[in-house]
Structure 1
Amino acid sequence: MTPRLLITGASSGIGRALAIAYAKDGASLYLLGRDEARLAATAEACRAAGASEVETRVADVRDREAMARIVETAHATRPIDILVANAGIATGLSPGQILETPEAVRATLAINVAGVFNTVEPAIPSMASRKKGQIAIVGSMAGVRSLPYSPAYCAAKASVHMWADCLRGQLAPHGVKVSLIVPGFVKTPMSARTKSWQPSAISDARAAEIIKRGLERRRPVIAFPPYMYYALRFFSFLPPSLVDGVMRRFHVIVPESPERGEGM
Structure 2
Amino acid sequence: MITGASSGIGEALALHYAADDIVLCLTGRDPLRLETVAESCRAKGALVDTWAGDVCNSAGIKSWIADCDQTHTLNLVIANAGVALGSATVEGLQKAATNSFNINVNGVFNTVHPALELMSKRRPYPVANAQVALMSSVMGYAGMARSPAYSSSKAAIKHYGEALRGAFRGMGIGVSVICPGYVGTALTAKNSAPMPFLIPADKAAEIIARGLARNKARITFPWQMVFITRLLMNLPAFIVDRINKPWGVVRLEDNP
| Length-normalised TM-score, structure 1 | 0.88
Amino acid at match of 1:42: V
1:106 equivalenced with 2:98 (yes/no): yes
Alignment of 1:180-219 (within 5 A): 180-219=177-216
Any unmatched runs of 5+ in structure 2?
A: 252-256
Q: Tell me, yes or no, if the aligned pair for 1:196 and 1:253 is still in contact at 8 Å.
A: no
Alignment of 1:35-184 (within 5 A): 35-51=30-46, 53-94=47-88, 97-98=89-90, 100-130=92-122, 131-132=127-128, 133-184=130-181
Any unmatched runs of 5+ in structure 1?
A: 1-5, 255-264
Q: CA deviation at 1:230?
A: 3.4
Q: Tell me, yes or no, if the aligned pair for 1:148 and 1:244 is still in contact at 8 Å.
A: no
Q: CA deviation at 1:152?
A: 0.9
Deviations 1:157-207 (A, max 9, x none): 011111101100010100100110000000001111111221110111110
1:245 equivalenced with 2:247 (yes/no): no
Q: CA deviation at 1:125?
A: 2.0
Amino acid at match of 1:121: H
Q: Distance in 2 between matches of 1:49 and 1:7?
A: 17
1:33 equivalenced with 2:28 (yes/no): yes
Deviations 1:87-131 (A, max 9, x none): 00001244xx45534223211110000000000000112212231
Q: Tell me, yes or no, if the aligned pair for 1:19 and 1:46 is still in contact at 8 Å.
A: yes
Moved more, 131-140 or 228-237: 228-237
How many correspondences in the alignment?
246
Q: CA deviation at 1:63?
A: 1.3
Q: Tell me, yes or no, if the aligned pair for 2:168 and 2:174 is still in contact at 8 Å.
A: yes
CA RMSD of aligned residues (A): 1.6
1:7 equivalenced with 2:2 (yes/no): yes
Moved more, 168-177 or 22-31: 22-31
SS in 1 for 2:50: strand
Q: Distance in 2 between matches of 1:243 and 1:223?
A: 21
Amino acid at match of 1:115: G
Moved more, 221-230 or 200-209: 221-230
Q: Distance in 1 between matches of 2:131 and 2:63?
A: 19
Amino acid at match of 1:16: E
Deviations 1:132-167 (A, max 9, x none): 301011100110112101111111101111110110
Identical aligned residues as a percent: 39
Q: Closer, same or farther in 2 for the Cα pair 1:253/1:45, shift >3 Å?
A: farther
Q: Tell me, yes or no, if the aligned pair for 1:92 and 1:253 is still in contact at 8 Å.
A: no
Amino acid at match of 2:219: I
Moved more, 110-119 or 211-220: 211-220
SS in 1 for 2:65: helix
1:18 equivalenced with 2:6 (yes/no): no
Q: Closer, same or farther in 2 for the Cα pair 1:228/1:164, shift >3 Å?
A: same
| Length-normalised TM-score, structure 2 | 0.91
Amino acid at match of 2:54: D
Which structure has more relative contact order (CA 8 Å, sep 6+)? It is: 1
Q: CA deviation at 1:213?
A: 0.8
